[in-house]
Amino acid sequence: MPALQKPARIVDLSGDFRLRDASIWAEFYGEPHACPKEIAGFVYGLPEAHREKIREAKRVASPGCFATAVLIGCLPLARAGLLRGAVVADCKTGSSGSGAVPGDGTHHPRRSTAFLAYKPFRHQHVPEIRQCLGDVGARDFDLVFQPHSAPLVRGIFASIYATLPRDLSDAELRGVFEDAYGGEPFVRLVEEGSPDVTWVKNTNFADVGFARDGRRVVVFVAIDNLVKGAAGQAVQSMNLMLGLEEKAGLVFPGSHP
């Protein structure tokens, strides 16, 4: 790929360089990887997981929108050794997540009022979620990820269900998330319960909440799929790569009244 030979910093928004294993990429994307020798030169661009690597990188593969939401919900538990066994990520997205090329299952007039599940067990964001969680130390977990098309235009809402290996109080569990995200510029913990996609619409914020019943926990994450899930996160990585203020160009009010 000639463009990759130029001495420029690259933030790639496609899924081409997110996975380090070209055979897994081919399995989930349905064709052989065109440039497998270039994969090793890319850093996975989720700042909440790989900030220092992104600072030093010349090439960054920006995460998928679903992957961003699920990972932000799971990273604190994974780092604390609390992500074990079955993990179910039940996610909803708006019609803007399907790209610019219309098709039977992606055309906005079709999807803007639809509610349906799609790509069970085979969504292309599954392996990048597994890979990144493994990078931060998660072991012995079994991820089930199910996306849905929801009757909205933009936004992703993730409900992530897990069973903790030991019982924690609400305060202890909140402490796990505060330790992970207390200094993060774009992750906000809601006071209690669930965030709302309308609060993050048109912003680079990820809002996180949780509920607990004994060892059972559900983590809620809301992002704008076109900002934190795409272009905004790419700018965040670019700022880190260029030594700029990480929040530069990304702090603006959303559209919620």
CA distance 82 to 162: 9
Eight-class DSSP state of 204: S
Residue 123: predicted pLDDT: 94
CA distance 5 to 3: 5
**65-227: CATH architecture:** 2-Layer Sandwich (3.30)
pLDDT band at 100 (very low <50, low <70, confident <90, very high): low
Q: What are phi and psi of 50, to 5 degrees?
A: -135, 40
Q: Provide the H-helix boundaries in the chain.
A: 22-29, 47-56, 65-79, 108-111, 126-135, 170-181, 197-200, 232-241
| CA dihedral for 151, 156, 161, 167, sign (positive or negative) | negative
Give the C-alpha distances (Å, rounded to integers) separating 46 from 70, 137, 191. Answer: 12, 16, 24
2 vs 117 pLDDT, higher one: 117
- In this prediction the pTM is 0.94
Q: For residue 48, is pLDDT > 90?
A: yes
For the domain made up of 8-63+230-241, the CATH class stated in words is: alpha beta
**Amino acid identity of 242?**
L
| Domain ranges within the chain, ordered by starting residue | 8-63+230-241, 65-227
The alpha carbon of 197 is separated from its chain's Cα centroid by a whole number of angstroms, namely 15
Two tokens, residue 34: 């065109």
pLDDT band at 120 (very low <50, low <70, confident <90, very high): very high
CB 54 within 8 A of CB 132: no
What value does the mean pLDDT take over residues 195-223? 96
CB 60 within 8 A of CB 11: yes
Percent of the residues in the chain that have a pLDDT greater than 90, as a whole number: 82
Beta bridge partners of 183: none
- The question of whether 65 is a catalytic residue gets the answer yes
- CA angle in degrees (0–180, nearest 5) for 189-192-194: 80
Catalytic entry in 65, 74, 91, 132: 65
Q: What value does the mean pLDDT of the chain take?
A: 93
CA distance 58 to 43: 8
